[in-house]
Amino acid sequence: MADWPGVALEHISDALFVTDRAHRIVWLNRLSEKIFGITAEEGRGRPVAEVTGMTPLTPLLDDLFEQGVPPEPAFEKVEAVIKFSGRRYFFKVAVAPVVEKAGFEGALVQLTDITRFYEMEKFKGDYISIISHEFRTPLTSVVLGVEMLRQGLLGELNKRGEEVFDAIGGDCHRLTKLVDNLLELSKIESGTIYIQAEPVDAAELVREAVRPLKIQAEKKGITLVTEIPGAVPPVAADFNKTVWVLTNLIGNALRYTEAGGTITVRVRVGTWRLFFSVKDSGCGIPPEYRDQIFEKFIQVRGPAKRKGGAGLGLAIAKEIVTAHGGEIWVESEVGTGSTFTFSFPLFRREGIMG
């Protein structure tokens, strides 16, 4: 009788290996033979990391065997230059336990070729980065020109003229912010920014973020308060980037809260982590959006969408917080308000603790 699953796996569009507990190859499929330039006979008995040249497979398999059967397969994106062909691949790697009736225990290693997808993503990122750069220089001179006209440096303006240039000034400001955010995001996505984590005073971070927004809050009739405990241990953070995250969360809270509302910026100390939260009494976020808004260009549909902005702030904030080894999330009730919280590891003399 034909071995249908076996035949199917031979022809699947992923490279597959089955290994024993010592990571030695027991079986491999045709695509593995083709990509890595070996026959099944040549591969059998050799460590999978050596045959593929992919060193990250070793810790992945070690973890799998150490932890027993994981609830879900472990995924990781791995770059590999194949010795045999010299080609550069990007694989999504999944490892899953193999347990047979006879008691054989091993692992299934599945390599999905995501090279094309990865290259497309990279191209998109480079494209955005180039366009943003090209926008920046002429935009700077437009901003300067508009500013000069508004101030009447090039001649008196009548009332109508002032209004027009005020509107253009506002649009220029939004466009500049959009270009800056796109550049920031493309830098993060291409891995060209690094987090310089230093011991930082959380109270100082909050003060720095709140100061420039106090006036804006007053103008809008919103109370902006801070709650910081007396003694706060230092947090391992990149000062400017963390201020950026806080500023954006408070900026959002200001944008989505009506006059008479309150925004509270709070610092709470946990055992290993420090929590920053920004609570508002604004319009709230519907449940189906609470994860999505951390993705780029996602904005809640409805009247609030018309409030300007491009939907990039939270995506950048998430990248920055994650790069610090922290997490960010939101709790919210529609009509009552939202609380955005992010955690950072505390700074310890021995290093950063998770």
Ligand X SMILES: Nc1ncnc2c1ncn2[C@@H]1O[C@H](COP(=O)(O)OP(=O)(O)OP(=O)(O)O)[C@@H](O)[C@H]1O
Binding site for ligand X (CB under 6 A): 181, 248, 252-253, 256, 280, 282-283, 285, 293, 299-300, 304, 309-315, 338
* Minimum separation from the CB atom of position 345 to ligand X (A): 24
Q: What are the residues facing 75 on neighbouring strands?
A: 94
* Positive or negative torsion for Cα 28, 31, 33, 35: negative
Q: Which is nearer to ligand X, 24 or 296 (CB)?
A: 296
Q: Between residues 19 and 181, which has the closer beta carbon with respect to ligand X?
A: 181
DSSP secondary structure string for all residues of 108-130: EEEEEE-HHHHHHHHHHHHHHHH
Q: Report the distance separating Cα 281 and Cα 254, nearest Å.
A: 10
Rounded to a whole number of angstroms, the minimum distance from the CB of residue 304 to ligand X is 5
CB neighbour burial string for 303-320, b if at least 16 within 10 angstroms, e if fewer: eeeeeebebbbbbbbbbb
> How far apart, in whole angstroms, are the C-alpha atoms of residue 329 and residue 228?
20
Shortest Å distance, C-beta 297 to Mg ion: 12
Contact present, 269 and 344 (Cβ < 8 Å)? no
CB of 317 to Mg ion, least distance (A): 8
Shortest Cβ distance from residue 130 to Mg ion (Å)? 24
SS3 category, 265: strand
| The one segment of 31-39, 46-54, 203-211, 244-252 that binds Mg ion by CB under 5 A | 244-252
| DSSP helix/strand/coil, 289 | helix
Q: Which stretch binds Mg ion (CB under 5 A): 150-158, 234-242, 245-253, 294-302?
A: 245-253
Pairing of strands 223-227, 347-348: unpaired
Closest contact distance (angstroms) between CB of 128 and ligand X is 14
Binding-site partner at residue 253 among Mg ion, ligand X, none, CB < 5 to 8 Å by type: ligand X
Q: Which of residues 251-290 bind Mg ion (CB under 5 A)?
A: 252
| Choice between 11 and 306, CB closer to Mg ion | 306
Q: Select 82 or 298, whichever has its Cβ closest to Mg ion.
A: 298
Q: Measure the CA–CA gap between 45 and 25, rounded to whole angstroms.
A: 5
What residue number has its CB nearest to Mg ion?
313
Nearer to Mg ion, 35 or 249 (CB): 249
Out of ligand X, Mg ion, none, which partner does residue 282 contact, by CB within 5 to 8 A per kind?
ligand X
Nearer to Mg ion, 252 or 281 (CB): 252
**In the complex, minimum distance from the CB of residue 314 to Mg ion, in angstroms, rounded to a whole number:** 6
> Residue 198's CB: how many other CB atoms inside 10 A?
12
Q: How many amino acids of this chain bind Mg ion (CB under 5 A)?
A: 2
Phi-psi group of 185: left, alpha or beta (phi > 0 → left; psi -120 to 50 → alpha; rest → beta) = alpha
Residues 291-320 that bind Mg ion (CB under 5 A): 313
Q: In this structure, are residues 33 and 85 in contact, taking their beta carbons and an 8 Å threshold? A: no
| Residues of the shown chain interacting with Mg ion in the complex, contacts defined by CB under 5 A | 252, 313
